[in-house]
Structure 1
Amino acid sequence: MGSFVGARRLLPFALLSILPVGVLGGNILSTTGFSSCMNNGTVKVEKLDVSYDKNTRVLTFDVAGTSDIVQNVTATLLVSAYGKQVYSKEFNPCDTGMPEMCPVPAASFASKGAQTIPPEFASQIPAIAFSIPDLDGTVKMQLKGAGGEDVACIESTVGNGKTLNIPAVSYAAVGMAAAALLLSGLAGLAAGGHPGATTPSPTFGEVIGWFQGLAMNGMMSVNYPPIYRSFSSNFAFSTGLVPWGQLQTTIDGFRAKTGGNLTSDSYQYLTDNVTLVFGDGAANTTSRMMRRAFDTVLLWARDGTSVTVNGTTANIGDDPSSSNNTSSTDNKINHYVSGIQAYTEQLSIPQANTFMTVLLIWAIICGVIIVFILLFKVILEAWSMFGVIPKSLESWRKRYWWRLAKALTNLVLLLYGTWTLYCIYQFTAGDSWAAKTLAGITLGLFTAVLAFFTWRIYTKAHEYKKLEGDASKLYEDKETWLKYNTFYENYKKGYWWLFVPAIVYMFAKGCVIAGANGHGLVQTSGQLIVEALMLGLLLWSRPFQRRSGVWINIFIQVVRVISVVAILVFVEELGISQTTKTVTGLVLIVVQCVLTAALAILLAVNAIINCVKENPHRRARKAQEKMKLERDLDDLTPLDARNSLLMEPMTQRGADGTMYKGPVVAPPAFGDRKGRYDAVRDHSPAPLGSEFSRPSRFGRADSDDHLVSSAASMGRRDDRSVSRSPDRQPTLPNLGFGRAV
């Protein structure tokens, strides 16, 4: 049992040791923000900064607050890591050189102090705690009165300055998405508009969809371990959330002119005045009232107001360096966030700016696409003026308007799920009437575009079923394929309709997360139902044409279901221990990193295959052309006009004796063997031995007289003989309309 417990304690650190981290700090643990862990206390703590230096074993702290009555207190300092208490110390402020708190006055107070941690306690703090990212630790200070009653309680998170929210992870994900886009584009060019051509998995849409799932997993109103919250924020770019200070300032100005309130919800307020404190999203009215009271008091304390405590002037905002304190005291207001707000504001995007940020980023991407396509059109036009462009590019040049519309439709399809989420969130949490109007218009427009294409595809499929019994023409007709293949190109012919459940799936995810924001259990349960239904549909149908596409998409969906089950552990209502939550978060990160790495490897493999393997679409086109040529040759007869087009030119002699090259043609009924027609000819027998007197297969001379006499005897064959009289001329048959002249 002892070994099992020891292994369980080491598991979080072992898992963390394999993750990429950024070295952002030294051997110091310090607090970040604080929250009250007691209601209606007689002592209200308004500030708490605690830091621990590993090299000196000195624990320093800076505390400030107010007291309703004069009272002697005893302080207890508790330090925990991953749900386990690693340090506990009870002390009397009067015995530690803290005169401001001996006794606690009925006024505002501020106090600083330092304690040296004994070696036996310092050794219990694992060395890895100073290097692992997003350390899940807390410091709690409890104050008790002379009678042992609780008079105050304050709690703060502890970090070491290292985090998984680092630019390198986001850049790697962006590069992976760009590689998937490039490979998908090259596959489309190689196909050359060939009907039925598929893109090898993982496609650009599958990669972006996976990154969007990672981002949306971090938006639910649950008590995430800090490390998982930081990890999920690396993929915010896939949903359109890009940190950009100048853009946020512009959006703030737009909101200010359209009914927005920037007092406590703006970019400047978020970056300059507050410290984010992440909560569990539980609806607690008393807690919210206390948080507003703390914010009001801290607005006063933030200005560095001097107060008098027992006749001594003290400044709550003193520089900690003057008191041998290594903590960073910024006196910012505690800003309590959870759910979608917590996800966006950790990226320095105010929650009221969320939709407008996504809208402007989408507009910028649309502008880039339009400029690129029009520029490519100009290049092709110039190319066609000075040379001959390939046939595939010629088709692209003529259809560029449709290509532009198709590219924008692809973008709408990729972002539809997250767009639904942000629009619904804007309706519930936004404050600008213009932003809400834009959210309604764009959501309706995107839905109408997808509904229109769905109707067109269903109409085409119905027509093809009536004519041919199935909808295979969706894949075989080139015009239909070029217009609508975006929606069903990777599905089998019998499952072309599966794009409709896929759109409904994206819409349902956005509605569940945004509609139930603030209710973690409802969000997670609804999300689990949606993901499980989609997994069941994929397992039942296995709709993708390529086997690799089937298993990759099923594996992605399995990991999505596992991720939502793991997030259930983070739901506060279930009361699961912090250690279990941390271990679950680490396991979840490892699983998602493994799948992401597998997708990256598959992209590299596809790139290598495309470089060394013959293009299958080109090979198929060559095979079809060869089969058509063989069919044409099989159908040829000596009198077939195609003979002159398909045979190789041969050297022939003209009437004037000159030699020339021309196609060999079959002689007409009244022509010579060079194909020259002469209706009036000398029908006298050719001299024996001439080139026109070679024996025929009937044993007779095959002369022009035979052709003339045969034509003259049409319809009058009394016996099997044929008249060979040289004087006989062709006559018209009696057709019953009178006597022939």
Structure 2
Amino acid sequence: MKEQRLCPMNIGKLEIPAIQTTLPQSVINQVPNVAYTVPDLDASVRVYINSTDTGAPIACMEASLSNSKSVYQQAVGWVIALVIGLGLASSGIASILGYSHAALHVAAKSLALFGFVQSQAILGMTSVHMPPIVESWTQNFQWSMGIMHLGFIQKIANWYLRATGGTSSTLLSDLENTSVNVLKRKRSLDFGAGALMKRESGEGAAPDGSKTIYGIVRVGFKASIERTDIFMTGFIFIMVFIGLTMLIVGLVRLVSGLLAKSGKTDSTRMDSNTWAVTMKGILLRLILMCYPAVCVLCLWEFASHDSAAEVILAVVMLLSTTAILVMAAVRIIRKARRSVEIYKSPAFMLQNDTMFLNKWGFLYAHHRSPAYYFVTVMVVYIFAKGIFVALCQPSSSVQIAALFVIEVLMLVAVCVIRPWMDKKTNIMNISVTSINFLNTLLLLIFNFRERDMATSILGVILFVYNAILTLILLIVILVASIMALVSKNPDNKYQVMKDDGSSIMSRTHMTELDALGAAARGSPDQNQKQNPFAHNEIPPNHADSLQPSDRTSPSHMTGANHSPSSPLDPSVPLFPSSDTRSTSPYESGDHTLSPSEYSQPGVSPVNRGYNVSPIRTPSPHAYRAANNPSPWQRGAGYEH
């Protein structure tokens, strides 16, 4: 090598410039071809220094080997963030235009991708030693947890830390004097059995003064963020994200108000009360999206204790967001149970209450009606992962074992319950959950297995199948977003939910005035002949046999399989629906009944404005309404 600084070697800082040396062909032939193509090589070079006199090795140097290729590319994170933003924006636009089913499906796909991105980011925050390619891949998604390096954000975070009595870390500023090593292997191999020490705050100090980092500190170090600034960086990003989103919604409200005053849009479409409730719903949705980052960062701040003020911020933020989500889950469960008690279906009250749907629907709009409680499962799942990722940083074995059990339980739950609204959405979310389970399984192997060729190969496999699923989700969301924006009627591309909530979805209404007009014109339905019982009349004395309790009971009015039609579009409550059929059937005034309301046992097909009520007055018509379809309901599937 002919490097004079190595002989003799002096005490102190050793500055060695870049050395270029030509290796013999025999050495080059021993290097496998994959070393030139595979990014983030999990390889090292060991150099032995032998004595000139005796030939015995007297020193040994080891360094990581790199081919300057990595899967960590900032463009990857930006592309994924833009696609998710496009999906949510197109969902909001479709909802404003009245295409509720398209808005619902596009938003569900976008949130599935965002949840998958956050799961991979949390995977990289574990303190498990993993191959370099896995570390680099998970680093692409740390933006979803608020871990992004921006100069002015770091200045604000560092200023707040010092102003509140904290001491800033100097890990990045002392790189010239301190050797920082990302965790490479089990600590028993690093310093020997006699040099074991407790790991604190994501750093371990070796006897020679070098530092070994892992977990959340490793993520911050790779993002060029000091350990003491990680929490405040995430906190600021979450606040900025929520603030900008609410500002955009406020601008949309302002523009829509100006257009309504100018007469270019319907001034009655979105009143002030509707907008207030809708903005609350959007705020709650943003809280749910940021909840994984809140759990991990706030709980980790409890352990790192950067300053007393930051700990207070973490306590307030964690308790407030958790309390809001728990309160929302409790309200949904109580509402659904009351609906089941009265109408034998949870979908009725969850979908017919306009204000409740716009405010709390973000937690159940994507789920089937019988799975209304699944929001509780999601909140518990996120909080449990946050506890073990944040508080078990010193013990990687406990951490990854707990995460493995959590993912197993979640996979079983989603496969058995299948809570999402249709088959495609269930397949997408079950695939995401399955990949999360495989990821924790491989990390479990990485944690309990020594570094060898097998772990390196498993790391490449983990990167490949995660990249494939991410690419598929990106394509699906792009196609769905474009179709929602350019199609004339994107709702036609999605089928209505086939659970007991299908009858309360937005459908083409056949008004009673149309039916009466057709009867007056003598225009029979083409499909009337299909009903052999169309002209069967029940003698009047049979109606008297009905008990009053039967005529007035909720079960008589609404069956388990026939829920009244909802006046709402069950879309994501990003914006209120532009559908003018948004009047609850319980509100006063005239309204149009849906086909499913016509078919409800014991409910008169005549508007409440008429003085006819088969529910209250025993009559032959009451009995017929309870047991047979109305004369103008034959042939359209109402009698099934």
TM-superposed CA distance for 1:268, in Å, is 4.1
- Residue 437, structure 1, aligned to residue 312, structure 2: yes
Find 1:133's aligned residue among 16, 36, 39.
39
Name stretches of at least 5 consecutive residues in structure 1 with no aligned partner.
Answer: 1-58, 65-97, 296-333, 639-741
Which residue of structure 2 aligns with residue 123 of structure 1? 29
| CA separation of 1:496 and 1:362: change in aligned 2, threshold 3 A | same
Which residue of structure 1 aligns with residue 500 of structure 2? none
Which residue of structure 2 aligns with residue 277 of structure 1? 181
| CA separation of 1:178 and 1:212: change in aligned 2, threshold 3 A | same
Using the TM superposition, name which of 425-434 and 396-405 deviates more. Answer: 396-405
Identity %: 22
| CA separation of 1:349 and 1:396: change in aligned 2, threshold 3 A | farther
Which residue of structure 1 aligns with residue 461 of structure 2? 587
Contact 2:260–2:266 (CA<8 Å) still a contact in 1? no
Q: What amino acid does structure 2 have at the position aligned with 1:403? A: T
| CA separation of 1:191 and 1:545: change in aligned 2, threshold 3 A | farther
Q: What amino acid does structure 2 have at the position aligned with 1:277? A: N
TM-superposed CA distance for 1:291, in Å, is 4.2
TM-superposed CA distance for 1:483, in Å, is 2.3
Paired with 1:490 and 1:476, the residues of 2 have a C-alpha distance of 16
Paired with 2:178 and 2:155, the residues of 1 have a C-alpha distance of 17
TM-superposed CA distance for 1:395, in Å, is 1.9
- Residue 630, structure 1, aligned to residue 506, structure 2: no
SS at match of 1:160: coil
- Residue 371, structure 1, aligned to residue 371, structure 2: no
SS at match of 2:208: helix
Find 2:77's aligned residue among 170, 185, 199.
170
- Superposed CA deviations along residues 273-310 of structure 1, whole A, max 9, x for unmatched, are 65541115756672669945433xxxxxxxxxxxxxxx
TM-superposed CA distance for 1:627, in Å, is 3.9
Q: What amino acid does structure 1 have at the position aligned with 2:155? A: T
SS at match of 1:294: coil
Structure 1 segment 591-610 matched on structure 2, within 5 A: 591-610=465-484
Paired with 1:371 and 1:588, the residues of 2 have a C-alpha distance of 39
Contact 1:214–1:235 (CA<8 Å) still a contact in 2? yes
Q: Say which structure is richer in strand.
A: 1
Q: What amino acid does structure 1 have at the position aligned with 2:277? A: W
Paired with 1:219 and 1:257, the residues of 2 have a C-alpha distance of 28
Contact 2:39–2:67 (CA<8 Å) still a contact in 1? yes
TM-superposed CA distance for 1:128, in Å, is 5.2
Structure 1 segment 398-417 matched on structure 2, within 5 A: 398-417=273-292
Paired with 1:432 and 1:237, the residues of 2 have a C-alpha distance of 24
- The answer to which structure, 1 or 2, has the higher relative contact order (CA under 8 A, 6+ apart) is 2
| CA separation of 1:619 and 1:519: change in aligned 2, threshold 3 A | closer
CA RMSD of aligned residues (A): 3.4
Paired with 2:4 and 2:469, the residues of 1 have a C-alpha distance of 45
- Superposed CA deviations along residues 295-332 of structure 1, whole A, max 9, x for unmatched, are 3xxxxxxxxxxxxxxxxxxxxxxxxxxxxxxxxxxxxx
Contact 2:106–2:477 (CA<8 Å) still a contact in 1? no
Q: What amino acid does structure 1 have at the position aligned with 2:225? A: I
- Residue 349, structure 1, aligned to residue 233, structure 2: no
Q: Say which structure is richer in helix.
A: 2
Name stretches of at least 5 consecutive residues in structure 2 with no aligned partner.
Answer: 189-193, 199-203, 497-504, 523-640
SS at match of 1:394: coil
- Residue 336, structure 1, aligned to residue 240, structure 2: no
Paired with 2:222 and 2:397, the residues of 1 have a C-alpha distance of 22
| CA separation of 1:583 and 1:127: change in aligned 2, threshold 3 A | closer
Which residue of structure 2 aligns with residue 213 of structure 1? 119
TM-superposed CA distance for 1:440, in Å, is 0.6
TM-superposed CA distance for 1:398, in Å, is 4.3
Give the TM-score normalised by structure 2.
Answer: 0.70
TM-superposed CA distance for 1:561, in Å, is 0.8
- Residue 228, structure 1, aligned to residue 134, structure 2: yes
Paired with 1:111 and 1:268, the residues of 2 have a C-alpha distance of 18
Structure 1 segment 5-404 matched on structure 2, within 5 A: 98=7, 100=8, 116-126=22-32, 129-130=35-36, 132-142=38-48, 153-191=60-98, 198-200=104-106, 203-262=109-168, 264-265=170-171, 268-269=173-174, 276-280=180-184, 282=186, 286=195, 291-295=205-209, 334-390=210-266, 394-395=269-270, 398-404=273-279
- Higher CA-based Rg: 1
- Superposed CA deviations along residues 497-548 of structure 1, whole A, max 9, x for unmatched, are 1111011111111111112113222221111111111110111111222111
Paired with 1:601 and 1:627, the residues of 2 have a C-alpha distance of 41
Paired with 2:110 and 2:184, the residues of 1 have a C-alpha distance of 34
Q: What amino acid does structure 2 have at the position aligned with 1:176? A: V
Q: What amino acid does structure 2 have at the position aligned with 1:238? A: S
SS at match of 1:156: strand
Contact 2:137–2:463 (CA<8 Å) still a contact in 1? yes
Structure 1 segment 467-546 matched on structure 2, within 5 A: 467-473=342-348, 474-546=350-422
Contact 2:332–2:372 (CA<8 Å) still a contact in 1? no
Aligned length: 498
Which residue of structure 2 aligns with residue 307 of structure 1? none
Paired with 1:360 and 1:530, the residues of 2 have a C-alpha distance of 29
Find 1:559's aligned residue among 435, 442, 467.
435
Contact 1:248–1:357 (CA<8 Å) still a contact in 2? yes
| CA separation of 1:484 and 1:636: change in aligned 2, threshold 3 A | farther
Paired with 2:392 and 2:325, the residues of 1 have a C-alpha distance of 25
TM-superposed CA distance for 1:350, in Å, is 1.5
- Superposed CA deviations along residues 115-145 of structure 1, whole A, max 9, x for unmatched, are 6532211232346534542222212245678
TM-superposed CA distance for 1:409, in Å, is 0.9
| CA separation of 1:387 and 1:579: change in aligned 2, threshold 3 A | same
